[in-house]
């Protein structure tokens, strides 16, 4: 990262990692359940210097505070409050959003809620949607619901390679960098992951929502990225997502499960094209815009408008 900002949101400190701080355009990049904003380093490099990438560490992860009250703070409702605080701190009335897994669901909720919908200019969901395979979700909850401890750093790295095979990471150097960014040493000298082991309590305390109703309510441009062998987001779900949102842009990434790392040109270039597309009015205004275009044509025919 090129810079780091630390925000205070209630009693928690939230770290925001920044790439290309002086870039003319800004995108919010939000990580998955057990990860942190550092995962977007390669994404920022591939996206290029015209984009300032703001990648927060959700509380309980990375450089952000751990909560003393997980049942209160490790919830989507609180993450939404943090997201608005990030937007406000950087003076962003609205911004495009790229979210992996949990970060994608957070962006979806922000784009669906009337109070925050206007803050999301465009939304990219990385291997997540309004419908997730229940078996894959249960496996995710089971894995992150228990602490993980390793006697040696090499054991932690080996487990990362096993558990995160769906990231589609290529090369020993990339795996080593992931391990270095994921490890935390314990007082007895053993190793564990960088996150608060209580983040898994989110599966217990969070309030269920009708996520299909949320999906239907979104009016900003939408893109979904799916890992070809994703255990969470099925191809059938993407088809159903498009039935509700016909303008949905989709990308299926070969050789990946949950979730593509967004670390190479073939994954980032389509996202870059989507983010750089001309701004569009929310679809709620489309009928009016269509009426105006028809009116202009009618006036031209009368010779009253050049």
Contact, 231 vs 139, CB < 8 A? yes
Q: How many helices (H) and strands (E) does the chain have?
A: 12, 10
Contact, 54 vs 18, CB < 8 A? yes
pLDDT interval class at 200 (50, 70, 90): confident
Contact, 233 vs 134, CB < 8 A? no
- CA dist., res. 194 & res. 180, Å (int): 10
- pLDDT recorded at residue 300: 37
- pLDDT recorded at residue 141: 83
Lowest mean pLDDT among 67-71, 255-259, 261-265, 299-303: 299-303
Partners of residue 162 on adjacent β-strands: none
Mean pLDDT value of segment 227-244: 96
- pLDDT recorded at residue 214: 97
- pLDDT recorded at residue 176: 96
Mean pLDDT value of segment 143-168: 93
Q: Which CATH architecture has domain 3-130+198-302?
A: 3-Layer(aba) Sandwich (3.40)
Residues 6 or more apart whose Cβ sits within 8 Å of residue 49: 20, 23
Map out the domains of the chain as residue ranges: 3-130+198-302
Contact, 74 vs 36, CB < 8 A? no
pLDDT interval class at 285 (50, 70, 90): very low
Residue from 129, 111, 131 nearest 120 by CA: 111
Q: Is the confidence at residue 32, as pLDDT, over 90?
A: yes
Contact, 208 vs 186, CB < 8 A? no
Q: Is the confidence at residue 123, as pLDDT, over 50?
A: yes
pLDDT interval class at 278 (50, 70, 90): low
Mean pLDDT value of segment 153-171: 93
For CA atoms 277, 94, 238, 264, the dihedral sign is positive
- CA dist., res. 46 & res. 24, Å (int): 16
Look up residue 233 and give its two tokens. 């987001």
- pLDDT recorded at residue 266: 96
The strand pair at 191-193 and 12-19 is best described as: unpaired
Round the average pLDDT of the chain to a whole number and report it.
Answer: 90
């Amino acid at each position: 990262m090129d810079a780091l900002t630390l925000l205070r949101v209630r009693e928690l400190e939230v770290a925001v990692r920044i790439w290309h701080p002086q870039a003319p355009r800004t995108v919010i990049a939000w990580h998955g359940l057990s990860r942190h904003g550092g995962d977007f380093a390669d994404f920022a490099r591939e996206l290029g210097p015209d984009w300032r990438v703001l990648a927060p560490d959700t509380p309980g992860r990375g450089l952000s505070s751990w909560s003393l009250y997980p049942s209160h703070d490790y919830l989507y409702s609180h993450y939404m409050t943090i997201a608005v605080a990030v937007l406000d701190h950087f003076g962003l009335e609205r911004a495009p959003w790229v979210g992996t897994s949990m970060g994608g669901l957070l962006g979806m909720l922000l784009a669906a809620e009337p109070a925050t919908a206007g803050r999301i200019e465009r939304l990219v969901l990385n291997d997540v949607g309004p419908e997730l395979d229940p078996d894959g979700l249960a496996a995710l909850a089971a894995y992150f619901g228990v602490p993980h401890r390793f006697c040696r750093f090499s054991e932690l790295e080996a487990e990362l390679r096993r558990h995160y095979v769906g990231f589609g990471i290529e090369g020993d150097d990339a795996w080593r960098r992931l391990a270095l960014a994921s490890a935390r040493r314990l007082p007895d000298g053993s190793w564990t992951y960088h996150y608060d082991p209580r983040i898994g309590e989110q599966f217990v305390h969070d309030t269920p929502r009708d996520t299909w109703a949320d999906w239907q309510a979104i009016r900003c441009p939408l893109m979904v990225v799916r890992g070809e062998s994703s255990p969470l987001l099925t191809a059938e779900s993407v088809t159903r997502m498009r039935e509700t949102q016909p303008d949905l842009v989709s990308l299926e990434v070969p050789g990946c499960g949950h979730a593509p790392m967004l670390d190479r040109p073939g994954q980032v270039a389509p996202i870059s094209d989507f983010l750089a597309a001309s701004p569009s009015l929310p679809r709620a205004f489309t009928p009016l815009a269509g009426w105006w275009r028809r009116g202009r044509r009618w006036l031209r025919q009368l010779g009253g408008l050049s």
